[in-house]
Amino acid sequence: MKGLGELERSIMDILWAESNALTAREVGRLIADRDLAPTTVMTVLDRLTRKGFLERTRDGRAWRYQPAESRDTYIAELMLEALDLTGDRSAALTRFAQAVSGTEAEILRRALTELEEE
């Protein structure tokens, strides 16, 4: 999974925050810090759909867009891609484990325990 550009990330943040699928017009209204042409928003939404980040469904003459995966899934995949870039996965994982907080380490312990019990 490739990273997202700045505008793509802004649009994905909007869609991840919403519980319902949105039209391009609705997304455009929610991008408060930018004055974007509607065609720009539609182009980015189409690009995100082709990349597999979004799913779209027809709603009359418009399309409604929603994330194909959760933000958590996207971030986890980015972390795994970064891990794949290392020459030594064990060293990278060890360094990561040393850098997390006690609370985060406990979350990791619980997740690993649950995986072992499956």
> What is the pLDDT at residue 37?
85
| Distance separating alpha carbons of residues 83 and 85, to the nearest angstrom | 5
| Distance separating alpha carbons of residues 34 and 30, to the nearest angstrom | 9
Q: Quick check: 2 pLDDT over 90?
A: no
* pTM (predicted TM-score): 0.81
> What is the pLDDT at residue 118?
86
Query: What pLDDT digit, counting tens, does each position of 18-75 carry?
Result: 999 999 999 999 987 778 888 999 999 999 999 999 999 999 999 999 999 999 999 9
The 3-class SS string of 17-47 reads HCCCCECHHHHHHHCCCCCCCHHHHHHHHHH
Q: Quick check: 1 pLDDT over 60?
A: no
What SS3 state is found at 63? strand
> What is the pLDDT at residue 105?
93
Q: Is 87 exposed, middle or buried (0-12, 13-18, 19+ CB in 10 A)?
A: exposed
